[in-house]
């Protein structure tokens, strides 16, 4: 069995009238897990960092650019019996402006902005729901024991 880390997850939120709202994307029928609601996800290209992947995938899948980007202190994982691999996935969170216009790629068929409670009901995996809980705790409750690292995007933008 191998352990690989070749994917990212990126949660996107905006501040709406009822608090944080999360962007969810519905996978198209032509991809694996058709019809599944998820955050931005993607594979890390050769010679690309996880941060570069998160920024690239955000642009490709939504047409958005973040106001701020943080590393969530959570790593998701799953086992694939087909490849006998455990995937370890770094998790990011990005804040976008409340008035942004989402333009989804052909990887998805629709999008929704939802509260944390609604988001967690639509996500398939426990690790994804845990990330949303951590994000809520950090941004709404200002729990200082959580350490979200802000990403200085300027150094990564030149590569994208």
Q: Please report the domains of the chain, with CATH numbers, ordered by start residue.
A: 2-151 (3.90.79.10)
Give the separation between CA 75 and CA 129, rounded to whole angstroms: 12
> Is the predicted pLDDT of residue 159 greater than 90, yes or no?
no
Give the separation between CA 9 and CA 65, rounded to whole angstroms: 15
Task: Kindly report which listed range (98-102, 134-138, 145-149) carries the lowest average pLDDT score.
Answer: 145-149
In the prediction, which pLDDT does 110 show?
96
Percent of the residues in the chain that have a pLDDT greater than 70, as a whole number: 92
Could you tell me the pLDDT band of residue 150, with boundaries at 50, 70 and 90? Answer: confident
In the prediction, which pLDDT does 139 show?
85
**Using CB atoms within 10 A of its CB, is residue 5 exposed (0-12), middle (13-18) or buried (19+)?**
middle
Two tokens, residue 151:
């990403």
């Amino acid at each position: 069995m191998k352990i690989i880390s070749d994917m990212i997850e990126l949660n996107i939120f905006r501040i709406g009238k009822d608090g944080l709202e999360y962007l969810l994307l519905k996978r198209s029928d032509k991809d694996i897990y058709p019809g599944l609601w998820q955050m931005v996800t993607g594979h890390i290209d050769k010679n690309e960092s996880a941060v570069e992947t998160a920024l690239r995938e955000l642009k490709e899948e939504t047409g958005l650019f973040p106001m701020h980007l943080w590393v969530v202190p959570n790593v998701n994982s799953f086992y694939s019996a087909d490849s006998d691999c455990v995937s370890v996935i770094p998790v990011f969170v990005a804040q976008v402006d409340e008035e942004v216009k989402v333009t989804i790629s052909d990887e998805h068929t629709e999008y929704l902005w939802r509260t944390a409670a609604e988001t967690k009901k639509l996500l398939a995996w426990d690790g994804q729901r845990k990330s949303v809980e951590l994000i809520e705790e950090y941004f709404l409750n200002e729990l200082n024991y959580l350490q979200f690292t802000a990403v200085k995007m300027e150094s990564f933008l030149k590569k994208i």
